[in-house]
C-alpha cells in the first residue's frame, strides 16, 4: 500500500507541475541541441556534405551484406474488418536481389501500382497505370524507403530485447491456406497480434528470412529477438488489433505461394514512360548551385 501511495503522489506532483516544467525542459533541450550542432552550423554547407558522405558510406556497407532472395512469389491478402474500403491484396515476386510488388484495391481494380525494388543497387521504380491505360513511372533512390522500414524493425527488435514487447509461442494450432500453423502471440503497448507460423512450406524458409533480415535489419536473422523467441518459419497469417485508430484491426494472409519460377512480367518496364527522380544529393547540389 505504501508503494501505491508513493507512486500516486509522484504522478500527482508531475501533473501539477507539468506546465511549469514543460517550458524549462523545452528551453534546456533547445540549448542542448544548439550547442550540439554549433560546430555543424560553423561548417555551413560542408556539414551537409559530410552527413551525405557518411550516409552513402553507411548505405553501401549495408548493401554489401544483403543476401539474395529465393526465386518465389505469393499474394498477401489484406483485410480490414472495420475499414473494408481499404481491403485489397499485394502480389510479391522475388528473384536475386530484387522484389516486385503489385497492389490491387478491392474498390478499384482498374488501376495498377507496381513497384520494382533492387535492394543491392538501392534503386526503386514505381509504375502506374491509370483508368485510361496511360503508363507512367518514376525511378528513385531506395534509401528513404528501406532505411525507414529498417528503423521500424530495429525498434521492434529492441522493444522485445528490453521487455517493452512480448512474443511467445502457444500450444494452439490450425490449418490456414492448407498449411498447419502454430499460433504466436505478440504484444506491446500499442497493439496485439496473433501470428500464425508454419514450417510446412516446401522451400527453404530460412533462406527467405535471412534475405529479409539482411534488407530490413542491422542484425543477422539468427541474432534477432524474433528468432530467439522460437519464431522460425513463415508467417501465413497475422491478425492485429489495436485501440489506436491509426492501427485499428487488420488480417494479413499469405496465399498462392509458388517457388522455383515466377512471372517475369512482374519485373518488366516495357511500355512505361519513366522519369528519373533526383536523389537527396542531387537536390542538395542543385540547392548549392542556386545559392
User: How many alpha carbons lie under 13 Å from residue 235 in its C-beta half-sphere?
Assistant: 22
Instruction: Let me know if residue 131 belongs to a domain.
Output: no
- For residue 219, the SS3 value is coil
Q: What is the CATH number of the domain that holds 147?
A: 2.50.20
Mark whether 77 and 201 lie in a shared domain. Answer: yes
Asked if residue 128 is part of any domain, the answer here is no
Query: Are 199 and 222 in a shared domain?
Result: yes
pLDDT of residue 106: 80
Examine residue 203 and state whether it is found in any structural domain, yes or no. yes
Q: Is residue 136 part of a domain?
A: no
**φ, ψ at 190 (rounded to 5°):** -100, -30
Say if residue 249 is in the same domain as residue 218. yes
Q: Do 104 and 12 lie in a common domain? A: no
Averaged pLDDT for residues 116-124? 92
Contact yes or no for 248/80 (Cβ under 8 A): yes
Whether 6 has a pLDDT exceeding 50, the answer reads no
The answer to whether position 127 is within a domain reads no
Residues 50 and 102 in one domain: no
Q: Which domain holds residue 38?
A: 2-63
DSSP per position, 27-92: HHHHHHHHHHTHHHHHHTHHHHHHHHHHHHHHHHHHHHTPPPEEEEEEEEEEE-TT-GGG-EEEEE
Residues 100 and 208 both lie in one domain: yes
Is 289 among the domain residues?
Answer: no
pLDDT digits (tens, 9 = 90+) for 137-177: 999 988 877 777 878 888 888 888 888 888 889 999 999 99
Do 184 and 241 have their domain in common? Answer: yes
**How much is the pTM?**
0.78
How confident is the model over 242-272, as pLDDT tens digits? 888 888 899 999 999 999 889 899 999 999 9
Q: Please tell me whether residues 74 and 59 are part of one structural domain.
A: no
Rounded-to-integer distance, Cα 236 and Cα 255, Å: 8
- In this structure, the answer to whether residues 99 and 46 fall within a common structural domain is no
Q: Is residue 287 part of a domain?
A: no
Sheet order of strands, 192-198 included: 166-176, 179-187, 192-198, 234-241, 249-259, 69-79, 88-96, 98-105, 108-118, 123-129, 135-141, 273-276
Residues 27 and 147 grouped into a single domain: no
Residues 38 and 84 in one domain: no
Same domain, 168 and 204: yes
Kindly state whether residue 12 falls inside one of the protein's structural domains.
yes
Quote the percentage of the chain above a pLDDT of 70. 83
The domain total for the chain is 2
178-229 pLDDT per residue, tens: 999 999 998 888 888 999 999 988 888 889 988 988 888 877 777 787 777 7
Amino acid at each position: 500500500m505504501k508503494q501505491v501511495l508513493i507512486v500516486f503522489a509522484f504522478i500527482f506532483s508531475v501533473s501539477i507541475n507539468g506546465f511549469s516544467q514543460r517550458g524549462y525542459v523545452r528551453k534546456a533541450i533547445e540549448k542542448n541541441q544548439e550547442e550540439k550542432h554549433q560546430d555543424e552550423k560553423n561548417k555551413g554547407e560542408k556539414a551537409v556534405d559530410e552527413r551525405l558522405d557518411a550516409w552513402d558510406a553507411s548505405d553501401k556497407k549495408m548493401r554489401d551484406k544483403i543476401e539474395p532472395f529465393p526465386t518465389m512469389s505469393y499474394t498477401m491478402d489484406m483485410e480490414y474488418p472495420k475499414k473494408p474500403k481499404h481491403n485489397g491484396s499485394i502480389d510479391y515476386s522475388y528473384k536475386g536481389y530484387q522484389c516486385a510488388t503489385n497492389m490491387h484495391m478491392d474498390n478499384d481494380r482498374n488501376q495498377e501500382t507496381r513497384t520494382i525494388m533492387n535492394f543491392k543497387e538501392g534503386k526503386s521504380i514505381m509504375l502506374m497505370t491509370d483508368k485510361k491505360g496511360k503508363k507512367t513511372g518514376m525511378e528513385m533512390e531506395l534509401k528513404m524507403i528501406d532505411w525507414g522500414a529498417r528503423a521500424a524493425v530495429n525498434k521492434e527488435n529492441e522493444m522485445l530485447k528490453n521487455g517493452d514487447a512480448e512474443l511467445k509461442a502457444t500450444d494452439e494450432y490450425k490449418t490456414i491456406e492448407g498449411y498447419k500453423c502454430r499460433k504466436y502471440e505478440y504484444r506491446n503497448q500499442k497493439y496485439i497480434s496473433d501470428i500464425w507460423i508454419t514450417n510446412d512450406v516446401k522451400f527453404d524458409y530460412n533462406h527467405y528470412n535471412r534475405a529479409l533480415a539482411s534488407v530490413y535489419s542491422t542484425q543477422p536473422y539468427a541474432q534477432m529477438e524474433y528468432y530467439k523467441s522460437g519464431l522460425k518459419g513463415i508467417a501465413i497469417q497475422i491478425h492485429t488489433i489495436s485501440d489506436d485508430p491509426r492501427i485499428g484491426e487488420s488480417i494479413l494472409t499469405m496465399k498462392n505461394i509458388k517457388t522455383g519460377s515466377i512471372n517475369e512480367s512482374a519485373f518488366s518496364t516495357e511500355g512505361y514512360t519513366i522519369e528519373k527522380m533526383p536523389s537527396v544529393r542531387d537536390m542538395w547540389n542543385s540547392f548549392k548551385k542556386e545559392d
